[in-house]
Amino acid sequence: MGWFTKSEKRKQPAEKKEEVWVKCPACSAHIFKEEWEKSLHVCATCNFHERLSCDERIASLLDDRSYRELDRKITASDPIKFSVGEEAYADKIQEARKKTGLLEAVKTARGTLSGTKVVVAVMDFSFIGGSLGSGAGEKIFLAADHARRHKRPFIMVSASGGARMQEGIISLMQMAKTCASISRLREEKLPYISVLTDPTFGGVSASFAMVGDVNIAEPGSLIGFAGRRVIEQTIKQELPPDFQTAEYLLAHGFIDMIVKRADLKDTIHKILKYRKHR
């Protein structure tokens, strides 16, 4: 029999401490988490606007419990069975679904914005870079058509790296398809408001994102077609430091206004109210 016996008590796992602070990705300022959430992920020190999920964005724009999701079963597909080496596009879709809880890079809904009935489509950059594929294009097409049939304004919030090249020409077709659906809104004299957030690039910026009756951008958002390095290598020139920022685009007439996230809902409401009484 041993002189000493070790305690058989199991070590209790350490309790996870809830984070109290959030560090701004841009200026590294420390912000109370509660204030960060209240400000919709905007830094009070440097005005950096962090990316929002589509659910956070919809909640910030539409009135509480007023909305119903549209076409929720439409999902990404693999029409050309694309793969690079051992990495299959179908596996990438599955991974994105698990990571985000979404079926596609865009979520659409009908609801009210400050009491005005609207239809919204919001892209989520965390789903394969918010890329425009056949599923995303179909959802935007149907959302714009729903707005037309029900005589509601249509609001599109873009956050995308561009067309989803794993779907080849089928993804590029979505550029024309979505714009065709949006053009029908004009025939019915229904407003289309486009909100460009960080980032909005490629086939998205070259199609529905830039054809709004009013084009609004968030401060500091990067917006363009090709990337900065690609352009510099092509034209053999150094571009201005603020090139492809929302501020640069506003100064050169590509967008109509820059609106802080906290003011976005009220600004859209005023635009819709103005158009209604014209």
| First-residue to last-residue Cα distance in the chain | 95
Say what the pLDDT of residue 2 is: 55
What does pTM read for this prediction?
0.91
Please, which residues bridge with residue 223 across strands?
Answer: 200
Q: What is the mean pLDDT of residues 31-38?
A: 94
pLDDT on residue 276: 72
- Of the pLDDT bands very low, low, confident and very high (cuts 50, 70, 90), residue 86 is confident
Alpha helices in 39-192 (DSSP H): 54-61, 89-100, 134-149, 169-187
Closest listed residue to residue 104, CA positions, set 154, 166, 54: 54
pLDDT, average across residues 173-195 = 97
Residues 125-161 pLDDT 10s: 999 999 999 999 999 999 999 999 999 999 999 999 9
CATH of domain 52-276: 3.90.226.10
Each residue of 222-278: pLDDT tens digit? 999 999 999 999 999 999 999 999 999 999 999 999 999 999 999 999 999 998 756
Query: Which is nearest to 111 in space by CA: 151, 157, 63?
Result: 63
From the number of C-beta atoms within 10 Å of its C-beta (0-12, 13-18, 19+), residue 10 rates as: exposed
User: Does residue 3 surpass a pLDDT of 70?
Assistant: no
**234 three-state secondary structure:** helix
Domain boundaries of the chain, sorted by first residue: 19-50, 52-276
For the beta carbon of residue 127, count every other beta carbon within 10 angstroms: 27
What's the whole-number average pLDDT of the chain? 93
